């Protein structure tokens, strides 16, 4: 059983003339076997949370803690966080010219596992994962995400997830830009990852459509840079029906 715990997290970014606080005190705990969905309007800080956990240099943590099994995540470098068991699927996966997908995946697996996977078993592992995600095997020889469609990039993110097997996966709007078929395939891949019950998922999304495929244990509403309400899957149903108005409207002073 592993635990990812976030307490009182404040995060700022540099803007013209100073800094802007994006996260204003996030408290959140995710345990192995749990899937937590974070929902909220644009600009509420959802993606900032993802990148702060991953260690993106643009995001400055000014207060609070992030721990993985009691160990300080914020003191780790980006690669140390990955080796410790944290994984980020990006909303906009980047292209890596000159690096084939096959080489990238094996290098990543070697870094995370501490040794190079045996070639024979690794090839079978990759082929099976690509088959599960309906990825053309020819994509293994193409440069990472170069010339890929949005849906193909998202499948590649889930392919990495399947092969690296992290303790916790942070999925930042993995459903954005996906058609109906791609959404099903990607969701099935995430569900396969969850089946063992030994990993946790933090699923960031605007919409409830992915939650029809990936059923969360908890749903958290983000507004103003923090969690303003938490509940079960029924909270997502309410958001689908009523939107975020009650969490974002400013009370009248009249």
Count the neighbouring beta carbons within 10 Å of the beta carbon of residue 55.
20
Per-residue model confidence as pLDDT tens digits over 57-72: 999 999 999 999 999 9
Backbone angles phi, psi at 146, to 5 degrees: -75, 120
Q: What percent of the chain has pLDDT over 70?
A: 98
pLDDT of residue 250: 55
pLDDT of 207 strictly over 90: no
The 3-state DSSP class for residue 133 equals: coil
Instruction: Kindly give the pairing relationship between strand 218-223 and strand 226-231.
Output: antiparallel
Average pLDDT value over all residues in the chain: 92
The 3-state DSSP class for residue 150 equals: helix
Backbone angles phi, psi at 14, to 5 degrees: -80, 135
DSSP class per residue in 24-64: EEEEEEEETT-EEEEE--TTSSHHHHHHHHHT-TTSEEEEE
Would you place residue 108 in the very low, low, confident or very high pLDDT band (cuts 50, 70, 90)?
very high
pLDDT of residue 252: 46
Give the integer Cα–Cα distance in Å for 221 and 228: 6
Give the integer Cα–Cα distance in Å for 150 and 78: 25
pLDDT of residue 196: 83
Q: Which residues have C-beta within 8 Å of that of residue 73, sequence separation ≥ 6? A: 53, 66, 67, 81, 84, 86
Mean pLDDT computed over 203-216: 92
pLDDT of 254 strictly over 70: no
The least confident of 31-35, 203-207, 250-254 is: 250-254
Mean pLDDT computed over 25-39: 96
pLDDT of 206 strictly over 90: no
pLDDT of 251 strictly over 60: no
């Amino acid at each position: 059983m592993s635990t990812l715990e976030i307490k009182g997290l404040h995060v700022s970014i540099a803007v013209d003339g100073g800094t802007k606080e994006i996260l204003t005190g996030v408290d959140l705990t995710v345990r192995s076997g749990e899937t937590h969905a974070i929902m909220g309007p644009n600009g509420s800080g959802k993606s900032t949370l993802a990148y702060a956990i991953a260690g993106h240099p643009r995001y400055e943590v000014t207060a609070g803690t992030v721990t993985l099994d009691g160990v300080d995540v914020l003191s780790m470098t980006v690669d140390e966080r990955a080796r410790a068991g944290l994984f980020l699927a990006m909303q906009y996966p980047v292209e890596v010219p000159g690096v084939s997908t096959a080489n990238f995946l094996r290098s990543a697996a070697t870094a995370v596992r501490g040794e190079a996977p045996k070639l024979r078993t690794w090839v079978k592992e990759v082929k099976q994962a690509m088959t599960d995600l309906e990825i053309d095997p020819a994509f293994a020889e193409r440069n990472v995400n170069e010339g890929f469609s949005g849906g193909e990039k998202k499948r590649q993110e889930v392919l990495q997830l399947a092969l690296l097997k992290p303790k916790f996966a942070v999925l930042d709007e993995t459903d954005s830009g996906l058609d109906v078929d791609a959404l099903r395939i990607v969701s099935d891949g995430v569900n396969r990852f969850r089946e063992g019950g030994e990993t946790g998922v933090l699923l960031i999304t605007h919409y409830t459509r992915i939650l029809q495929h990936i059923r969360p244990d908890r749903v958290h509403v983000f507004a103003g840079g923090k969690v303003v309400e938490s509940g079960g899957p029924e909270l997502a149903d309410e958001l689908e029906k009523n939107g975020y108005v009650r969490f974002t409207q400013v009370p009248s002073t009249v």
